[in-house]
Amino acid sequence: MLDSIPVVAITSQVPRRMIRTDVFQDIPIVEVTRTITKHNYLVLDVDDIPRIITEAFFLATSDRPGPVLIDITKDIQQKLAVPKWNQPLRLPGYMSRLPKEPNKAHLEQIVRFISESNRPVLYVGGGCLNSGEELKRFFELTGIRSRSDLLLAFGAWFDDRVTVNLEAFASRANIVHIDIDSAVIGKNKQYHVSELNEQKVKYPLNQHQTWVVQFYKYKRPRQWLTFGGLGAMGFGLPTAIVTTVTNPGTVVVDVDGEGSVTEDGYRIEQNRN
Ligand SMILES: Cc1ncc(C[n+]2csc(CCOP(=O)(O)OP(=O)(O)O)c2C)c(N)n1
């Protein structure tokens, strides 16, 4: 959820009549995962499966993407049914909350900020991954390059890994914050008028990640895969392997810490046995 990665997980539940009897492997996974999924389902009727699967993929990939879990009881899995495809989605609340067209007055204000600013800077996050071309065009049109009396944060939020010292970060810059998820707007950092101070980032842990953030020169989206929100050690090597396999001919570099690679070593050893 933290990294906005679209995932649909299908899990298996004990038969309906055994739910909450403490029978072997009786886990209320829908309750357990409620706060760490974008949405989740417990399937209690076989005829719901086509609609729920369609909804799950729609939810996982639309708006701010995220993980969706579908828990299917064993007795439902074993039922025979003739699926009815093309059932209408039942997501009225979600649909009504999807972002509307941007507010024209806000856009005009942003354009005015940019034209009046001497040294605007762009702070771009994963929310712009699907807008690489538009972003490039914006960049070319505005000629934004250096830092900065105006911070334009697009599809990014003021994560503590970025700001380090919240008070000092962009403490005297105008901040324009654009994001699909209203929950991250105004989180940690209010958009307000001032000037950007350069920050030196220093972390005792996961330094390899911080180094990439600071020193790697990105030219386009989707060049870097990282263990964003949860910092799970051991993420790098298997991710690099999968990326190599799924992108034949591409050079893939794993920037890693020896501690993290050691964790992979244990898993490789376990799988070998
Ligand atoms: C699976 C897991 N275990 C423990 C931690 C806690 N932790 C965060 S960073 C870190 C050390 C990382 O060392 P290394 O991989 O060598 O990276 P470096 O900081 O040297 O770049 C630990 C133990 C974690 N994030 N993930």
Q: What is the pLDDT of residues 35-87, one digit of tens each?
A: 999 999 999 999 999 999 999 999 999 999 999 999 999 999 999 999 999 99
Ligand 1 nearest-atom number relative to CA 230? 25
Do 158 and 196 touch, CB atoms closer than 8 A?
A: no
Degrees (nearest 5) of the Cα angle 14, 17, 19? Answer: 50
Ligand 1 nearest-atom number relative to CA 203? 19
Residue 204 CA to ligand 1 centre (angstroms) = 10
Residue 260 CA to ligand 1 centre (angstroms) = 6
Last residue of a domain, one of 196, 228, 263: 196
What percent of the chain shows pLDDT beyond 90?
A: 48
* CATH code of 173's domain: 3.40.50.1220
CA-CA distance, 187 to 179, in Å (whole number)? 11
* CATH code of 15's domain: 3.40.50.970
CA-CA distance, 146 to 8, in Å (whole number)? 40
Ligand 1 nearest-atom number relative to CA 206? 19
Residue range of the domain that includes 219: 207-272
* Per-residue pLDDT tens digits for 166-186: 777 877 788 888 888 888 887
Confidence band, pLDDT 50/70/90 cuts, at residue 157:
confident
Q: What is the mean pLDDT of the chain?
A: 87
Q: Are residue 257 and residue 218 in the same domain, yes or no?
A: yes
CA-CA distance, 259 to 79, in Å (whole number)? 47
Last residue of a domain, one of 141, 161, 196: 196
Which of 2, 233, 258 gets mutated to test ligand 1 (max ligand atoms within 8 A of its CB)? Answer: 233
What residues are in contact with ligand 1 under a 6 Å CB criterion?
A: 205-208, 231-234, 257-260, 263
For the chain, the domain total comes to: 3
Q: Are residue 111 and residue 175 in the same domain, yes or no?
A: yes
Q: Are residue 39 and residue 122 in the same domain, yes or no?
A: no
Residue 60 CA to ligand 1 centre (angstroms) = 29
Residue 261 CA to ligand 1 centre (angstroms) = 10
Strands 150-154 and 120-124: parallel
Residue 205 CA to ligand 1 centre (angstroms) = 6
Q: Are residue 91 and residue 122 in the same domain, yes or no?
A: no
* Per-residue pLDDT tens digits for 118-135: 888 888 888 888 888 888
